[in-house]
């Protein structure tokens, strides 16, 4: 299936606007830890269910019919929570498959949205296989966490919204570059589709423990990788999605890797400087700045998407 483009993102933005939060932006007041006043944060940490994933879930369910059997996915994390919440609000049933190792706190969040939760296997791949089998047997709509074009287009609405806000923000008037965290590539693909016609450079930031994009770019195709590290719960896809990879090949400006210590430092910076909590994946893009791995040019207008907040606050500060 064709990867989403700018028109798909714009259509998704119109479609989901009544159902999601128009999240705010914030410019740091002073220079600190590699952050200058020419940096603008997009606070997607305040989105429904705590991450950008709400955008893709709503778009997928609003853009195409949902059968009587409802929707099904495999995810005990941000995608699962977003699917369960969107299904509840739109009047659909949701079945979520999670590994047996999924934390009970995450399972409880799914249950609060009236989702049917199945614990299957020890790893995500087991839950994914069970979800696909459920779809085959019941006819439910399967919503891939990061490689469904409607999901990807929905995720791209964060960038469309961000660019409009930056253009209207005093002292910015637009964006030159945007830093975005990468796991399976759904957010990255959507951001690339949204921003490519505007000439905004997109810089992908990966945890060194989950370099799915870096390995794919080196190989010239998506490949399986072993994943580990503190961001693996949200950026721990073992393979970059086909749509995200295709869009990266066409439009990506640069790809950077950050270490666990860089991510922890970025999480602490967010709390100490502006009293925001971000999960490791949510702070990964910022880590490229605070670690110095991304060096902004003088006067460069840099946008950073803080994409998720679902973590134990004690672990983030």
Question: Which pLDDT tens digit goes with each residue over 53-97?
Answer: 999 999 999 999 999 999 999 987 889 999 999 999 999 999 999
Q: What average pLDDT does this structure show over 270-281?
A: 90
Question: pLDDT at position 68, please?
Answer: 97
Query: Among 37-41, 143-147, 249-253, 313-317, whose mean pLDDT is lowest?
Result: 313-317
Does 34 have pLDDT greater than 60? no
User: What percent of the chain has a predicted confidence (pLDDT) above 70?
Assistant: 95
Specify the pLDDT at position 36.
64
What pLDDT is recorded for position 20?
97
For residues 147 and 247, the answer to whether their CB atoms sit within 8 Å is no
pLDDT above 90 covers a percentage of the chain that reads 76
pLDDT at residue 125 is higher than 90:
no
Residue 213 above 80 pLDDT? yes
Residue 107: the pLDDT is 86
Residue 235 has pLDDT above 90, yes or no: no
In 3D space, the residue among 117, 148, 140, 139 whose CA is nearest the CA of residue 55 turns out to be 148
């Amino acid at each position: 299936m064709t990867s989403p483009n700018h028109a798909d993102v714009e259509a998704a933005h119109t479609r989901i606007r009544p159902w999601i939060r128009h999240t705010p932006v914030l410019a740091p007041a002073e220079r600190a830890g590699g952050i200058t006043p020419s940096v603008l944060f997009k606070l997607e940490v305040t989105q429904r269910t705590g991450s950008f994933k709400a955008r893709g879930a709503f778009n997928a369910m609003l853009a195409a019919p949902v059968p009587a059997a409802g929707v099904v996915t495999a995810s005990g994390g941000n995608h699962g929570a977003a699917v369960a919440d969107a299904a509840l609000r739109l009047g659909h049933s949701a079945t979520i498959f999670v590994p047996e190792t999924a934390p009970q706190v995450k399972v409880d969040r799914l249950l609060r949205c009236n989702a049917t939760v199945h614990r299957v296997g020890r790893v995500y791949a087991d839950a994914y296989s069970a979800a696909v089998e459920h779809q085959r047997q019941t006819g439910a709509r399967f919503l891939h966490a990061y490689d469904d074009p409607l999901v990807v287009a929905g995720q791209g609405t964060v960038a469309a919204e961000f660019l409009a806000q930056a253009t209207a923000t005093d002292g910015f008037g637009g964006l030159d570059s945007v830093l975005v965290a990468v796991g399976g590539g759904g957010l990255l693909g959507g951001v690339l589709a949204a921003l490519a016609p505007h000439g905004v450079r997109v810089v992908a930031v990966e945890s060194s423990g989950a370099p799915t994009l870096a390995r794919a770019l080196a190989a010239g195709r998506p490949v399986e990788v072993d994943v580990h590290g503190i961001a693996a719960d949200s950026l721990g896809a073992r393979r970059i999605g086909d749509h995200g990879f295709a869009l990266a090949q066409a439009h990506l400006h640069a790809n950077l890797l950050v270490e666990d210590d860089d991510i922890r430092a970025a999480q602490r910076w967010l709390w100490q400087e502006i009293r925001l909590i971000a999960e490791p994946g949510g702070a990964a893009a910022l880590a490229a700045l605070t670690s110095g791995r991304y060096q902004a040019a003088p006067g460069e207008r840099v946008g950073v998407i803080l994409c998720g907040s679902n973590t134990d606050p004690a672990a983030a500060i």
